[in-house]
Structure 1
Amino acid sequence: MSEHNYLLKLRAQCLKLPFGARIFSMMFARKAPYFASIKPLITELKPNFCQLTFNKRKAVENHIGTVHAIAVCNGMEMAMGALAEASIPKHLRWLPKGMQVNYLAKTDSDVRVEAKATEDTWQVGDQPIEVTAYRADGTVVAAGHITIYVSEKPQKPKS
């Protein structure tokens, strides 16, 4: 699957360039412009796994000087989206349905987000994607899942 996936191909091409990981991350972040607000860097992407990071900076802080929970959720949604696009079989499509997140600790540093799925995820119906955010010392700051609805792509009319 991976050698035929458009997103994994694009990432492989970008990684050949100077600053390729940054270029790829910026390109993917343009899929949903609010992703760019956290200035994410996708550090690992393969079928059923995505890891990204973003820096703690004024633009993503809340009133107490920690990373805002919604910025963390933004990273979680981006990681899930990249994972889904890199993993889903060509005959299927996906749509996010909901997000359940528990905030577990203050986010007082740069953030690492991971999204994980399994091969069993890619079947028709509601499917949970595990998402976890960590601060620099490895402490889990938020954890939960994003439910996606997986369905068959409609058949194209024959001409």
Structure 2
Amino acid sequence: MASSNYLLALYEKCQKFPAGKRVFSAMFARKAPYFRSIKPYISELQPNFCRLHIKKRKAVQNHIGTVHAIALCNGLEMAMGAVAEASIPKHLRWIPKGMQVNYTAKANSDIRIEAHTAEDAWQAGDLDVDVIGYRADGQAVIRGTITIYISEKPAR
């Protein structure tokens, strides 16, 4: 079933190829070059939900050997952006407005990040997108709320 949303359509198209999710993840990460630094892997994308993964590797670790806070925030922002692009109605646009995060445990493994919104959330005004990062044992290591401002696209 082909999607009318450009990002979901690209995600579905990539699934037809070997390593399609990896290819899609790399393509989406190019939207903002700093996303590439975490080498994200988007394993699931649908309206109002995104799941991505960050491998614990030297390039994203801090001085104590855990995944660095900024790498975690980068993952939160990418997951939120994927949810926004995959979910927002065509007549609306969005821009990040703020981000609040709490680091709740050591990020000492690969990280799974999930972003989600309610189906009926996409209307003009502020929208808080909940994003949570989990380590391999299921413990939440970071919880964030990213506020985006949604407005009508200008008439052309």
Per-residue CA deviations over 1:51-108 (Å, capped at 9, x if unaligned) read: 0001000000001110001100100000000000000000000000010000000000
Per-residue CA deviations over 1:21-60 (Å, capped at 9, x if unaligned) read: 0000000000000001000000000000000001000000
SS in 2 for 1:84: helix
Query: Quick check: 1:7–1:86 contact (8 Å CA) kept in 2?
Result: yes
Matches within 5 A, 1:6-155: 6-155=6-155
SS in 1 for 2:56: coil
Could you state the TM-score of these two structures normalised by the residue count of structure 1?
0.96
CA distance in 1, matches of 2:67, 2:82: 22
- Structure 1: gaps of 5 or more residues: none
CA distance in 2, matches of 1:27, 1:3: 18
The alignment's C-alpha RMSD in Å is 0.8
CA distance in 1, matches of 2:107, 2:59: 14
CA distance in 2, matches of 1:149, 1:140: 26
CA distance in 1, matches of 2:49, 2:123: 17
SS in 2 for 1:3: coil
Aligned length: 155
Query: Quick check: 1:121–1:128 contact (8 Å CA) kept in 2?
Result: no
CA distance in 2, matches of 1:12, 1:116: 19
Letter matched to residue 155 of structure 2: Q
Could you state the TM-score of these two structures normalised by the residue count of structure 2?
0.98
Query: Quick check: 1:132–1:142 contact (8 Å CA) kept in 2?
Result: yes
Q: Percent identity?
A: 68
Query: Quick check: 1:108–1:135 contact (8 Å CA) kept in 2?
Result: yes
